[in-house]
């Protein structure tokens, strides 16, 4: 944690004082019932913060994933040109993430060099800049993860290979007389199951702190991905089917698709740092959508055929889903869902590009129109499953479920054929995709945090006691934070202080120096999105027009001291200078006109003893460098600043 220059000038103090200084952070404190004295608590610092450490760890994991993908490409011999747009996006996001992380380290170094002589506002300006950099890095890393996964899927699906003998031997052509009824029934069941998953995600979206079974939902998500690919295979989406011959791609759709792919890459890169404005995003999505739909209407729909219509519809649906996620709240879960949807749209475009380069030439004409019997039902189910996968992924992220491990080693399990069960068997019953499976996507709300204030109304500068129990809340089990802010203000400007996970504690804060309405905000842990879980209102009133006993505003050797006497319990706060980042606290009890208590600041803590003059306009006393000593540190005198002097 950051060590202030005052601390550096006191390095010659006794070792006991040094230990105190190293462990103390000013601003709030946790009361230790074992010895009856306040212990220092940990403020969430921007310097060497847990957020930066977490970003470095996440980046390392994503780079490992990317290395696996690139290693798989080397094994296959060369990369697939149809995955080039995804590879281009991955490269851009990697550069953005690495550059932003480098900027974070520079900002941390600059913050570490600030001292009390720096111009006012320097620290606050750098801290805001660092926070913005951390958010940008988190966004770039999230995007890099999504696009890397999609690039890996693109390579694994072998969209550039014409003759996959293993897959061709596993896949059997449909017999419409035999298979039409079970295929349509299975497609309807999978569509209904997907709708239930989407409905559960809507409940998750409305839940502040959701909980779900991460293990069961991960297995469910894996089965849905297998179902997605199996539906695509049944509808003719694979290139490695018996009887495939190459033909020239339809010029019109190929041109339109190329423009859409380039637009998707541009949209992805423009979204790397921050969300786009809703109107601009909608306009881009509309341009891509209109181009694809226009081609379908002018060609296949006019001729009454559906060779590529369902594939185009899948791509349009992916674009719409990405745009919808982007228009939602700009937080971690929605951002991740947006990147997932946009990367899947780019993968769908690669699949469509592969489909345009082939055509089936069966020896016996099919008994139904379309690629296969039940093509319309299969296409609809495919789109619904894609939405369900995105919705379940969003809810798993919001519930802090770990991401499923993905590997390029060996032959990965990506589709039903990879498991030698066949696409038809996977869709019609080999996968456990009954309607009851929707329960694996269900969520429930976590218990709220238990937090209370010792009072509803405080005086300016008075010490506030906040009692917090994080054990009931899943969003605070590992880490969380509280912050004091003006009521109705936008979150992000308040300083946040770390809460001990799964524990009860009493926290001391200094009431603001300006009267008004305030709230204590409770923030979820970063891995749960950092949302505001609850707000607890309070009001701050001004001190009186004159000093009454110890209650008043005092000019002291350590800056202005606010004190409030409530039936013998005297608390307050002070700042050593206008550049001091956080206030020190004084917690004491009074007997007649003598105050005995403890001071706490960024320099440490110790005892204090103050005696009020008979005219209640001044006090004199001493302070110590240990809690059990109220002398030996120096003098502590004060003069009343309220009323006529």
DSSP conformation letters of 513-559: SS-EEEEEEEE--GGGT--EEEEEEEEEE---SS-BTTBEEEEETTE
Q: What is the pTM for the complete model shown? A: 0.58
What's the sign of the alpha-carbon dihedral 176, 179, 184, 190? negative
Same domain (yes/no): 454, 512: yes
CA distance 283 to 286: 5
Using pLDDT thresholds of 50, 70 and 90, give the confidence band for residue 478.
confident
Whether the predicted pLDDT of 416 surpasses 70: no
Res 174: pLDDT: 64
Whether the predicted pLDDT of 390 surpasses 60: yes
Res 406: pLDDT: 46
Most confident option among 369-373, 513-517, 573-577: 513-517
Same domain (yes/no): 224, 365: yes
Whether the predicted pLDDT of 303 surpasses 50: yes
Same domain (yes/no): 216, 293: no
Position 36 in a domain: no
Using pLDDT thresholds of 50, 70 and 90, give the confidence band for residue 590.
very high
Most confident option among 42-56, 378-392, 492-506: 378-392
Residue position matching structure tokens 């004199």? 620
Beta bridge partners of 360: 244
Range of the domain at 548: 1-27+544-645
Query: Do 520 and 538 meet the contact criterion of CB atoms below 8 Å apart?
Result: yes
Query: Do 585 and 601 meet the contact criterion of CB atoms below 8 Å apart?
Result: yes
Whether the predicted pLDDT of 305 surpasses 80: no
Res 419: pLDDT: 44
Using pLDDT thresholds of 50, 70 and 90, give the confidence band for residue 363.
very low
Higher-confidence residue: 172 or 442?
A: 442
Using pLDDT thresholds of 50, 70 and 90, give the confidence band for residue 226.
confident
Of the given ranges (6-15, 43-52, 369-378), which has the lowest mean pLDDT? 6-15
**Whole-number average pLDDT of the chain:** 76
Same domain (yes/no): 472, 526: yes
Whether the predicted pLDDT of 362 surpasses 50: no
Position 38 in a domain: no
Same domain (yes/no): 528, 569: no
CA distance 89 to 70: 14
Strand 532-541 relative to strand 457-459: parallel, antiparallel, unpaired?
parallel
Same domain (yes/no): 257, 295: yes
Whether the predicted pLDDT of 370 surpasses 50: no
Position 32 in a domain: no
Res 75: pLDDT: 58
Q: What is the mean pLDDT of residues 457-478?
A: 87
Position 37 in a domain: no
CA angle 276–282–288, rounded 5-degree value = 110
CATH value at residue 325: 1.20.120
Same domain (yes/no): 463, 591: no
Res 380: pLDDT: 84
Position 589 in a domain: yes
Higher-confidence residue: 359 or 506?
A: 506
Using pLDDT thresholds of 50, 70 and 90, give the confidence band for residue 399.
confident
396, 424, 445 — which closes off a domain?
Answer: 445
Res 300: pLDDT: 61
Most confident option among 270-284, 351-365, 474-488, 509-523: 509-523
Same domain (yes/no): 426, 439: yes
Q: How many domains does the chain have?
A: 5
Same domain (yes/no): 549, 573: yes
Using pLDDT thresholds of 50, 70 and 90, give the confidence band for residue 369.
very low
Q: What is the mean pLDDT of residues 63-69?
A: 88
111, 133, 156 — which closes off a domain?
Answer: 156
Res 442: pLDDT: 92
Using pLDDT thresholds of 50, 70 and 90, give the confidence band for residue 31.
very low
* Phi, psi at 2, each rounded to 5°: -70, 135
Position 600 in a domain: yes
Residue 231 structure tokens: 């539906």
What's the sign of the alpha-carbon dihedral 179, 180, 185, 191? positive
Res 617: pLDDT: 92
Same domain (yes/no): 230, 365: yes
Position 108 in a domain: yes
515, 541, 567 — which closes off a domain?
Answer: 541
Res 410: pLDDT: 35
CA distance 309 to 53: 47
Same domain (yes/no): 439, 454: no
CA distance 55 to 410: 29
Residue 240 structure tokens: 């490695």
Using pLDDT thresholds of 50, 70 and 90, give the confidence band for residue 5.
very low
CATH value at residue 492: 2.60.40.1930
Residue position matching structure tokens 């009856």? 36
Same domain (yes/no): 173, 135: no
Half-sphere exposure of residue 530, counting CA atoms within 13 Å on the CB side? 15
Res 243: pLDDT: 30
pLDDT digits (tens, 9 = 90+) for 282-291: 788 878 878 7
Beta bridge partners of 599: 586, 606
Of the given ranges (263-272, 440-449, 521-530), which has the lowest mean pLDDT? 521-530
Position 35 in a domain: no
Res 572: pLDDT: 94
Whether the predicted pLDDT of 314 surpasses 80: no
CA distance 440 to 36: 48
pLDDT digits (tens, 9 = 90+) for 142-151: 999 999 988 8
């Amino acid at each position: 944690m950051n060590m202030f220059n005052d601390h550096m000038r006191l390095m010659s103090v006794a070792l006991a004082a040094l230990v105190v200084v190293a462990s103390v952070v000013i601003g709030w404190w946790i009361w230790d019932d074992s010895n009856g004295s306040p212990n220092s608590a940990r403020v969430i610092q921007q310097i060497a913060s847990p957020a930066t450490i977490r970003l470095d760890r996440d980046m390392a994991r994503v780079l490992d994933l990317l290395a696996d993908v690139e290693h798989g490409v080397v094994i296959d011999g060369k990369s697939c040109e149809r995955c080039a747009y995804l590879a281009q996006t991955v490269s851009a996001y990697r550069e953005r993430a690495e550059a932003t992380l480098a900027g974070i380290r520079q900002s941390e170094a600059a913050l570490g060099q600030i001292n009390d002589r720096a111009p006012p506002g320097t620290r606050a300006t750098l801290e805001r800049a660092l926070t913005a950099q951390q958010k940008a890095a988190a966004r770039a890393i999230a995007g890099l993860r999504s696009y890397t996964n999609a690039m890996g899927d693109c390579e694994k699906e072998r969209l550039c290979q014409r003759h996959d003998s293993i897959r061709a031997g596993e896949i059997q052509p449909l017999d419409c007389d035999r298979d039409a009824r079970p295929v349509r029934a299975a497609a309807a069941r999978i569509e209904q199951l997907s709708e239930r998953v989407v409905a559960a995600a809507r409940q998750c979206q409305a839940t502040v702190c959701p909980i779900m079974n991460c293990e069961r939902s991960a297995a469910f998500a894996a089965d849905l991905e297998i179902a997605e690919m199996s539906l695509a295979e049944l509808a003719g989406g694979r290139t490695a089917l018996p009887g495939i011959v190459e033909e020239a791609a339809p010029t019109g759709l190929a041109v339109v698709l190329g423009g859409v792919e380039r637009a998707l890459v541009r949209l992805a890169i423009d979204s790397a740092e921050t969300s786009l404005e809703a109107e601009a995003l909608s306009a881009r999505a509309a341009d891509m959508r209109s181009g694809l739909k226009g081609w379908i209407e002018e060609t296949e729909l006019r001729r009454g055929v559906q060779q590529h219509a369902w594939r185009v519809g899948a791509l349009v649906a992916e674009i719409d889903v990405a745009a919808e996620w982007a228009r939602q709240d700009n937080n971690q879960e929605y951002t991740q869902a947006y990147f997932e949807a946009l990367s899947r749209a780019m993968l769908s475009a690669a699949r469509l590009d592969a489909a345009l380069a082939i055509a089936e030439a069966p020896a016996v004409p099919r008994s139904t129109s379309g690629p296969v019997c039940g093509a319309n039902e299969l296409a609809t189910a495919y789109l619904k499953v894609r939405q369900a996968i995105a919705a379940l992924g969003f809810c798993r992220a919001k519930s802090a479920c770990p991401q499923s491990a993905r590997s390029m080693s060996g032959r990965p399990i990506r589709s039903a054929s990879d498991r030698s069960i066949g696409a038809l068997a996977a869709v019609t019953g080999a996968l456990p995709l009954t309607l009851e499976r929707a329960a694996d996507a269900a969520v429930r709300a976590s218990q709220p945090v238990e937090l209370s204030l010792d009072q509803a109304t405080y005086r300016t500068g008075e010490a506030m006691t906040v009692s917090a129990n994080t054990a009931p809340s899943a969003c605070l089990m590992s880490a969380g934070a509280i912050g004091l802010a003006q009521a109705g203000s936008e979150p992000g400007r308040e300083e946040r202080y770390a809460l001990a996970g799964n524990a009860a504690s009493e926290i001391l804060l200094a009431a603001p120096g300006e009267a008004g309405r305030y709230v204590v905000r409770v923030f979820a842990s970063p891995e749960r999105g950092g949302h505001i879980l609850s707000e607890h209102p309070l009001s701050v009133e001004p001190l009186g027009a004159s000093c009454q006993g110890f209650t008043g505003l005092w000019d002291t050797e350590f800056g202005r001291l606010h004190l409030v006497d409530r039936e013998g319990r005297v608390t307050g706060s002070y700042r050593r200078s206008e550049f001091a980042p956080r206030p020190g606290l004084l917690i004491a009890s009074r007997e007649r006109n003598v105050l005995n208590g403890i001071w706490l600041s960024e320099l440490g803590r110790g005892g204090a003893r103050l005696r009020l003059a008979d005219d209640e306009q001044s006090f004199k006393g001493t302070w110590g460098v240990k809690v059990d000593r109220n002398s030996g540190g120096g003098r502590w005198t004060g003069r009343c600043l309220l009323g006529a002097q």
